Amino acid sequence: MAVNLWGRSFLTLKDFTKEELEQILYQAEKLKIDHYAGKDEPLLQGKTIAVLFEKPSTRTRISFASAIWQLGAFPLILETTNMQLMRGETVPDTAKVMGRYVDAIVARVFAQKTLEELSKNSGVPVINALSDYSHPCQIMGDLQTIKEKKGELKGLRFAYLGDGNNVANSIIFGGTKLGMHVAIGSPKGFEPIDEVVSYGRKFAESSGGSLLITNNATEAVKDADVVYTDVWASMGKEAEHEKRVQVMMPYQINDGILKHAKKDVIVMHCLPAHRNEEITDSVLDGKHSVVVDQAENRLHAQKAILSLLVR
């Protein structure tokens, strides 16, 4: 039975039930089939969706603009550098006015608090296109990709190597809610925060999945169906790049580490990649890589989220 998500914000996967996440994945699959059949429906005809950027973007900007247009709505692309926010206007004041003009706000921001303030004050759905805490739209596209390649999600082994960042957090939330066996391999001091781990263990207990946090990269990828990584220094942490490269190198996804995963493992990266740092050319361009399909599915997953949340 379909669940009703109208009017809700999409800030983090921990706020959605297993059934609600499955509904989004079902909708994404349907909309992708319709798109390739030339049957895009203008489900948001006449709507205006603001897409707000504090951070640079390639895939998020293009995929959301295309998704909104394909749904029949107008994508209003905004840069905070060209708004009164840069002259001291508060996020709540901005949100209260934006909510009178647009039907939803998509925002790619530095701080999760910004999204929470937008959602609290705008009166319209706010969709997290990336924050320091969470990257839920990315992971919904990733889960759609895994389901396409593997046929199911429940029971699969999903390994992530690298910094315990916003992507790792969302993998934990989404994977454990859907019954996957999630393993995070990070250097000491770079593990996901305790709050996220606590939620993940709770979700895994309910779904029949599991969560492993380890400093051993080989242990994390053992018998994995999916191996995933992200850049070692996210936006805002570039000054730590050299230090992080030294610490993270044992967590690089290369041909050697993949030998510990299943023979039919798929390799994922949310992109952009720093080639031959967190992932080697031979893997990123190799037979196990699904990164281009993964990037495409951002479009379809985001169409699903928008079509289910926007009134």
* Residue 157 bears catalytic tag: no
87 is catalytic: no
In a domain, 65, yes or no: yes
**Residues 123 and 144 both lie in one domain:** no
164 and 289 housed in the same domain? yes
Residues 145, 117, single domain; the answer is no
State the pLDDT at residue 311: 87
**Catalytic residue of the set 135, 157, 244, 288:** 135
Whether 2 maps to a domain, the answer reads no
Work out how many domains the chain is built from and give that number: 2
pLDDT at 1: 54
pLDDT of residue 253: 98
Please state the separation of Cα 80 from the chain's center in Å: 22
For 267-298, b/e burial (b = at least 16 CB within 10 A) is bbbbbebeeebbbbeebbeeebbbbeebbbbb
Q: Assess whether 138 carries a catalytic annotation.
A: yes
223 catalytic per annotation? no
User: 29 with 129, same domain?
Assistant: yes
Of the candidates 244, 269, 298, 300, the residue annotated as catalytic is: 298
Q: Is 275 assigned a catalytic role? A: no
Q: What is the domain range of residue 287?
A: 138-294
Query: What pLDDT is attached to residue 235?
Result: 65
Q: Identify whether residues 169 and 52 lie together within a single domain.
A: no
Q: What is the pLDDT of residue 205?
A: 98
**Rounded distance between C-alpha atoms, residue 276 and residue 249, angstroms:** 10
The answer to whether 159 touches 251, Cβ cutoff 8 Å, is no
Given the residues 270, 288, 294, 300, select the one marked as catalytic.
Answer: 270
Tens-digit pLDDT string for the chain (311 aa): 578 999 999 999 999 999 999 999 999 999 999 999 999 999 999 999 999 999 999 999 999 999 999 999 999 999 999 999 999 999 999 999 999 999 999 999 999 999 999 999 999 999 999 999 999 999 999 999 999 999 999 999 999 999 999 999 999 999 999 999 999 999 999 999 999 999 999 999 999 999 999 999 999 999 999 999 999 987 666 778 889 999 999 999 999 999 999 999 999 999 999 999 999 999 999 999 999 999 999 999 999 999 999 98
Alpha-carbon distances of 276 from 77, 195, 245, rounded to whole Å: 33, 32, 11
Query: Does residue 272 have a cis peptide bond before it, meaning omega lies within 30 degrees of 0?
Result: yes
Residue in 23, 27, 70, 138 annotated catalytic: 138
List the catalytic residue out of 8, 23, 108, 244. 108
Amino acid at 293: D
Which entry of 142, 163, 225, 230 is annotated as an active-site residue? 230
Residues 148 and 288 in one domain: yes
Integer-rounded Cα radius of gyration of the chain: 19
Whether 108 is catalytic is: yes
Residue 4: inside a domain, yes or no? no
| Beta strands per DSSP E along 119-240 | 126-130, 157-161, 181-185, 210-214, 226-229
| pTM (two decimals) | 0.97
